[in-house]
């Protein structure tokens, strides 16, 4: 029987693409806040594999607990957890930052990852098997102007991933991180509060990564041999050499 992969933030971007790619090899638990999108994705994938949906917000610990505890018995043995849920809110110098934006990034990017992992890990440890893939960012290894709290949240994911690997290796659990550069998803539109014109300018003049590109890399990590752990993978579009260094055609 196929292994079970659980993907957070599966309603768009990298998470949605990851679900579509892993449907070829895994049964899926797809998670997200937007129920209609979850159901649409489940409908699109059900002919390829078995799919269960969980509708919750990763930043609300009680909802994370309730949702994951509601899984039917035949779905509790999660083999792969892709901690993808996360986003950026605002782009401002530290003295002009919006506290609500700061809280949203910390609650989703860091605390949400912790809440979900805390629910899934006991079963993996009991079975002495599992694989956790955290979706970080180039922003977690290279700070940039006005990135402050988003940078901090992704640096935290990087540090947490390394520490988790130390904690979990003895339990036969692999821990990996993938760090994308510029990916053309809803990321910039969310960061700029729905200003699509401003968001589109981020990706003008070069070919950014797509969610599919990152999903294929995640699938490579997931489907690597049992004894192999792709611990850390930085993935950039060809035109990008740093967090804010992109060669654009004029």
Residue 32 CA: distances (Å) to CA of 108, 124, 196, 202: 12, 22, 22, 26
Distance CA 10, CA 153 (A): 20
Helix residue spans in the chain (DSSP H): 13-22, 35-45, 61-69, 99-105, 113-127, 148-168, 187-191, 196-202, 211-222
Q: From the candidates 115, 150, 155, 203, give the one annotated as an active-site residue.
A: 150
- Other beta carbons within 10 Å of 188: 21
Distance CA 209, CA 184 (A): 6
Using alpha carbons only, how large is the chain's radius of gyration in Å?
A: 17
**Beta-strand pair 245-246/240-242:** antiparallel
237 neighbors 208 (Cβ within 8 angstroms): yes
Distance CA 8, CA 29 (A): 9
Mark whether 150 is an active-site residue. Answer: yes
Distance CA 57, CA 62 (A): 10
Residues 6 or more apart whose Cβ sits within 8 Å of residue 98: 89, 90, 92
Which residues are catalytic, by number?
A: 150
């Amino acid at each position: 029987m196929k292994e079970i992969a659980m993907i957070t933030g599966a309603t768009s971007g990298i998470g949605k693409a990851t679900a579509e790619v892993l449907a070829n090899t895994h049964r899926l638990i797809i998670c997200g806040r937007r129920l209609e999108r979850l159901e649409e994705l489940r409908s699109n994938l059900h002919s390829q594999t078995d799919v269960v949906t969980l509708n919750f917000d990763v930043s609300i610990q009680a909802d994370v607990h309730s949702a994951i505890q509601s899984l039917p018995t035949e779905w509790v043995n999660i083999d792969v957890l892709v901690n993808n849920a996360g986003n950026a809110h605002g782009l401002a110098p530290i003295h002009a930052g919006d506290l609500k934006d700061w809280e949203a990034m910390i609650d989703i990017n860091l605390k949400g990852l912790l809440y979900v992992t805390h629910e899934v890990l006991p079963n993996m440890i009991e079975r002495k098997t599992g694989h956790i893939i955290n979706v970080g960012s180039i922003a977690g290894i290279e700070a940039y102007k006005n990135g402050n709290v988003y940078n901090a949240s992704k640096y935290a994911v990087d540090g947490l991933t390394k520490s988790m690997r130390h904690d979990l290796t003895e339990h036969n659990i692999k821990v990996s991180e993938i760090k994308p550069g510029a990916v053309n998803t809803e990321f910039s539109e969310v960061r700029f509060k729905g200003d699509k014109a401003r968001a589109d300018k981020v990706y003008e003049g070069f070919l950014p990564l797509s969610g599919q590109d990152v999903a294929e890399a995640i699938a490579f990590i997931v489907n690597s041999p049992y004894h192999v752990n792709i611990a850390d993978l930085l993935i950039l579009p060809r035109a990008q050499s740093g967090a804010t260094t992109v060669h654009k055609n004029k």
